[in-house]
A and B are shown apart, each in its own frame.
Chain A
Amino acid sequence: MARNMYFTDAVRSEQNLYEDIVIESLKIYGQDVYYLPRDLVNEDTILGDDVVSSFNSAHVLEMYIENTEGFDGEGDLFTRFGVEIRDEATFVVSRRRWQQTVRKWDNEVTSVRPLEGDLIYLPMTNKIFQITMVEHEQPFYQLQNLPVFKLRCNLFEYNDEDLDTGIEKIDQVEKDFAYTYILTLDRTSDTIVPGNTVSMLLDSATNLTMTGEVEKWSDSDSKLHVIHVGANDGAYHTFLPTYTATITGAYRQDSDFTVSVVTEENAISSNEQNDEFSTGSVDFLDFSEGNPFGDVEGQ
């Protein structure tokens, strides 16, 4: 027997009312979060990854957190690689609100749905999550429509990505955890600001230039913290003492500085022992000699 044709649950006005009520509920019981679309910088089509993604926009959006008694996942684990935090969370977001808030205003977003790999910053806990799966059929066609997405997320594993969203709390992650080169300059300056670009010409014949982004400037000791560093020839190089560092960008007046000392800081790895291994093996082996195992540090 066919279905009764006088009753239907696919009435457009009822569907809209249902969606409005869902949105209102999310606005009442949800949290304001920031949605960060991922920009693929250099996708590897063979290995299928993009190790240098960047995030340059953040959109405030209300989402409901399904977890009521804490985050899911395995929590904090001790492994041979240190403490691994494996928090998981599920966020519920209205389809219409996501379209209105993210897709409409971000011309870099071409997808019609949230994408796996995008980030969600939850100010309540000050944590950044990465979307691992977008569930689009829950609740299941109650009025023959699908008003929400469920975003299943893991805690974001920061890996030197570029975060320039303009939201201070989010961009702070980059300042706290990005691999940093610290250049000691020959004089102080009050016009160096984060976001400026540092460049150093290493070889004028080949135009070999190192560049990086100013993360912090310490006026008291003339130390310039530089992140996202690299050379234009595609090989490893580093900033060199006695060379000139040119700083460009906003509020610039004095541009050229002489670098006296270059050091490096890996802030995210609090348990690294690279320096300890160096000092612990001093006077035991002469590493200035060529060695058959590879290119160890020259000292």
Chain B
Amino acid sequence: MFGTHFYHEKIKKSVAIFGRMFNNIYVIRKNSSSQVISQVKVPLSYAPKQKYLERIREQADLSANSQVASNYLVCHLRLQVLTMT
């Protein structure tokens, strides 16, 4: 009834578009003289992903990359509900 194969990347593009809206957030930090001494773009990523990819990307070199914990300020998004009306 629906024919053969079709794929329009709707969900993928929806994730990308939603992510892009939060794509340019910066956190700035000031010293006691109110001068900015650090400004960092908040990293954004789609949360559900293959764990093995995550692991090898974050810790390609086990000895070097674990020098400090990588709990940097970070923003994640996930697609939770998809409704059709």
Contacts and interface: CB of A to CB of B under 8 A. Distances in A.
A8 interface: no
Interface in A170-202: 173, 176-177, 179
Interface string B62-76: 011011111111101
Interface in A226-256: 228-236
Interface string B51-85: 10011011110011011111111101010000000
A280 B74 CA distance: 20
B58 A82 contact: yes
Interface string A263-299: 0101011111110111011001101000101111100
Contact of A228 (B24, B38, B67): B38
A159 B24 contact: no
B69 A42 contact: no
A273 B46 contact: yes
Contacts of A116: none
Contact of A230 (B12, B19, B37, B59): B37
Contacts of B73: 159
Contacts of B41: 179, 264, 266, 274
A228 B37 CA distance: 5
B36 A281 contact: no
A52 interface: yes
A281 B46 CA distance: 14
A212 B51 CA distance: 36
B20 interface: yes
Contacts of B13: 280-281, 284
Given A85-B70, A156-B68, A281 B17 contact: yes
A270 B57 contact: yes
B23 A177 contact: no
Contacts of B69: 84-87, 154-158
Nearest to A161: B38
Contacts of B22: 296
Interface in B1-52: 12-13, 15-17, 19-24, 26, 28-32, 34-41, 43-49, 51
Which interface residue of A76, A230, A236 has the most chain B CB atoms within 10 A?
A230
A263 to B, nearest CB: 11
Interface string A209-234: 00000000000000000001111111
Contacts of B30: 42, 52, 230, 234
Interface of B: 12-13, 15-17, 19-24, 26, 28-32, 34-41, 43-49, 51, 54-55, 57-60, 63-64, 66-74, 76, 78
9 contacts: A52-B29, A80-B48, A84-B70, A85-B69, A231-B35, A235-B28, A273-B45, A274-B23, A274-B43
Q: Which 8 A-B pairs have the closest CB atoms?
A: A230-B36, A280-B16, A272-B43, A269-B43, A277-B19, A297-B24, A158-B68, A80-B47
